[in-house]
């Protein structure tokens, strides 16, 4: 949060310059469709954002009353020193008070809650789908190392990894969403317009019907790293002495693989879970959200950066960081569940 706040102090432009551009009819920002004609700026005192507004020098502000500019500074909170603004922001965020959006007449926390279902849907199911396929496939490739199955699956996985997800998404739309061939899946949204009228089981089907194409587009390149990491991890464990001893005792291959090798080999996979989850949850779906008209947190944060809507930018950044810390903690707990021999309190002398 501190580094991002410091970067913003030196970033060109800002919310006040955007207000000036809107008043003069020259605003062409990426989020123009969200501004609603500039919005209502009264009573929106915030303690966020760029420090270059506080200098009182705004390119293109000629002809505007200096008192009006000073009033904008006060409303946006730029009349305070940067350190004071940052301290107040952290104090408010610690109480989950994110303030209101500069350019939308809505609280930031309400915006986040509104967009959260899309990000949860994409991130959660993407992670489960990726790990649910990659881990069994990686284990099978380790067992069949060097076979025709191993070679062909490696080729398919690597080709999938090389295909950009957004291009594959466009191909899926052309083929299956009424583009030039079949109209089998919806083109936008997370649910149908009559979702509230459907029985519970049809709601579930409708939900996954809308998620099918976005998840396929995101998943096409998500298997390579986890699959090959699983394979190499299992190969390293299979070649160790304890596996040879277990086989010499007469244990069948399934018992050796899942009773002895699995826990040790999965530790490195678990270590990469937090990063994979956070990436899929927040950053990995930006283009997919745009292509399939899914308004999630990734798209919200991205467009807020271009729109200089700093309360939304820092609010989503705070949520992203907090979720990352929580997932990292859960990963450590899973370490202990997978291998009870791990003791985080043990110290070497």
Residue spans per domain, the chain: 2-105, 110-338
pLDDT tens readout for residues 119-144: 888 888 888 888 888 889 998 999 88
How many Cβ atoms from other residues are within 10 Å of residue 184's Cβ? 12
The answer to whether residue 42 scores a pLDDT higher than 50 is no
With 0-12 CB in 10 A as exposed, 13-18 as middle and 19+ as buried, what is 7?
A: exposed
**Which one-letter DSSP state was computed for residue 177?**
B
pLDDT tens readout for residues 60-119: 455 566 776 776 667 666 777 888 889 998 999 998 888 888 878 788 889 888 888 888
Q: Which fold has domain 110-338?
A: MetI-like fold (1.10.3720)
Rounded to the nearest angstrom, the gap between the alpha carbon of residue 345 and the centroid of all alpha carbons in its chain is: 32
pLDDT tens readout for residues 165-178: 888 888 888 888 87
> What is this structure's pTM?
0.68
pLDDT for res 53 = 44
* Ramachandran angles phi, psi of 183, nearest 5°: -110, 75
């Amino acid at each position: 949060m501190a580094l991002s706040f410091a970067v913003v102090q030196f970033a060109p432009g800002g919310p006040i310059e955007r207000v000036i551009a809107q008043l003069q009819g020259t605003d062409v920002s990426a989020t123009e469709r969200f501004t609603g004609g500039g919005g209502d700026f009264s009573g929106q005192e915030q303690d966020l954002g760029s420090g270059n507004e506080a200098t009182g020098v705004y390119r293109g502000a000629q002809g505007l009353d200096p008192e009006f500019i000073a009033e904008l500074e006060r409303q946006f909170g730029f009349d305070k020193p940067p350190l004071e603004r940052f301290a107040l922001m952290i104090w408010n965020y610690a109480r989950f008070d994110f303030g209101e959006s500069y350019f939308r007449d809505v609280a930031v926390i309400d915006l986040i809650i509104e967009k959260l279902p899309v990000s949860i849907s994409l991130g959660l199911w993407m992670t489960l789908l990726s790990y649910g396929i990659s881990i069994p496939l990686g284990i099978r490739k380790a067992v069949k190392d060097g076979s025709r199955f191993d070679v062909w699956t490696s080729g398919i996985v690597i080709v999938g990894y090389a295909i950009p997800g957004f291009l594959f998404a466009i191909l899926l739309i052309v083929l299956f969403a009424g583009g030039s061939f079949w109209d089998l899946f919806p083109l936008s949204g997370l649910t149908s317009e009559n979702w509230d009228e459907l029985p519970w089981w049809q709601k579930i089907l409708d939900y996954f019907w809308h998620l099918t194409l976005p998840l396929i587009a995101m998943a096409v390149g998500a298997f390579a790293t986890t699959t090959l990491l699983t394979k190499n991890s299992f190969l390293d464990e299979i070649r160790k002495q304890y596996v040879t001893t277990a086989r010499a005792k007469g244990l069948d291959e399934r018992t050796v693989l899942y009773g002895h090798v699995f826990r040790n080999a999965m530790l490195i996979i678990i270590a990469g879970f937090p990063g994979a989850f956070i990436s899929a949850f927040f950053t990995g779906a930006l283009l997919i959200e745009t292509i399939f008209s899914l308004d999630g947190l990734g798209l919200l944060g991205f467009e807020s950066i271009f729109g200089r809507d700093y309360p939304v930018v820092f609010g989503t950044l705070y949520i992203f960081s907090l979720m990352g810390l929580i997932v990292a903690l859960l990963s450590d707990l899973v370490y202990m569940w997978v291998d009870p021999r791990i003791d985080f309190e043990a110290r070497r002398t």
